[in-house]
Amino acid sequence: MSTLDAILLGLLQGLTEFLPVSSSGHLVLLSRLLGTSVDNTTFAILVHAATVLATITVFWSEILHLLRRGLTLRSTPESRYLLKLVISMLPILLVGLFLKDHVEALFGSGVRFVGSMLLVTAGLLLLTHLIRPKQQHPVTAKDAFLIGLAQSVAVIPGISRSGSTIATGMLLGDDKSQLAKFSFLMVLVPILGEAFLELLKGEFSPAASGISGYALAAGFLAAYLSGLFACKAMIRIVSRGKLWWFALYCAVAGTTALILG
C-alpha cells in the first residue's frame, strides 16, 4: 500500500464512518479499485481508531461531563446514561471474543458480497422512512441492547454501523436528536480496545502489517480530519431524520458492485 493509497482510504474511512453507508464496505471497494488490499484488518482498525479520536474531539466536553457526573455510586442521569452505553457494548464484545477470526475473513469476501450487504443497509435505512413511531422517547436499557445487537451485525463489510444503529433506534422510537451521539459514543471503547490490543501485539509495525510507517501515519491523519467533518454533518442529518437519500445511494452502490464485481 502506497502513502497515496493510504490517504485516499483514510479520507474515505473518515467520511463514511459516520455517514450510514458502511465504511468497511467502502474500504473493501476502494482497495479493489486501487489494486491494494485491506483483507488484513490492521489498517482498517487503525483508521477506525482515527475516527474514534475524531468522535472524542467533537464530544470532548460532553464526555468529560459524563465521566465526572456518571462515575459515582449515586444514581444520576449521567450514570444511567453510562450504564446504557455499557449495555450497548456487550454484543460487540461477545463478537470480538468468539468470532474475531470469522470477522477478519469477511474482509476478503469480495466485491459482490459487499454489494449485497449494501443492499441490506439500503433496505434498513428505507424502513426509517416508511415506519415512523408517533412518539419519541430517550434511549432505554432495552433499546441500548438492541442497538448494540445492530452494531454487532455491522462488523460485516457493507452493513453500515452508524446506519444500522441509528436506524434501529429510530424504528424503536428513540429521540432522533440524541441518537447520533449515542451511536457514536457506544463504539469508543470497543474500537479503542481493539486498537490497543493490536498495538500491544505489534501489529501496527511495518513488518507485521506490511504497510510503511509513513502510509500508516498518513492514513490515520486523513481519517481523523475527514472524520471531524463527517461527524458534525451526521448529527445535523439525523436530527432531521433524512436517511432515505443514503438508502438510495447504498442501493445504487450495492447494485453497481453486484454487476461489476
Average of per-residue pLDDT values in the chain: 84
Q: How confident is the model at residue 146 (pLDDT cuts 50, 70, 90)?
A: very high
Full domain range(s) for residue 244: 3-260
Percent of the chain with pLDDT over 70: 90
pLDDT value of position 108: 62
**SS3 label, residue 248:** helix
Helix (H) or strand (E) holding 133: none
pLDDT for residue 144 is more than 90:
yes
Rounded to whole angstroms, the Cα distance separating 28 from 41 reads 11
**The pTM of the whole model exceeds 0.75:** yes
- Identify whether the C-beta of residue 158 lies closer than 8 Å to the C-beta of residue 117: yes
* Structural domains counted in the chain: 1
- 119, three cell numbers: 443492499
Question: Are the C-beta atoms of 170 and 242 separated by less than 8 Å?
Answer: no
**DSSP secondary structure letters along 161-207:** HHHHHHHHHHHHTB-HHHHHHHHHHTTHHHHHHHHHHHHHTTTTSHH
What's the confidence (pLDDT) of residue 148? Answer: 94
CA distances from 159 to 84, 113, 188 (A): 23, 11, 19
For residue 142, what pLDDT is reported?
95
> The dihedral of CA 34, 36, 40, 43: what is its sign?
negative
For residue 259, the tally of other CB atoms under 10 A from its CB is: 9
Which of the four pLDDT bands, split at 50, 70 and 90, describes residue 105? Answer: low
As a whole number of angstroms, the distance between CA 161 and CA 22 comes to 6
Q: Is the pLDDT of residue 255 over 80?
A: yes
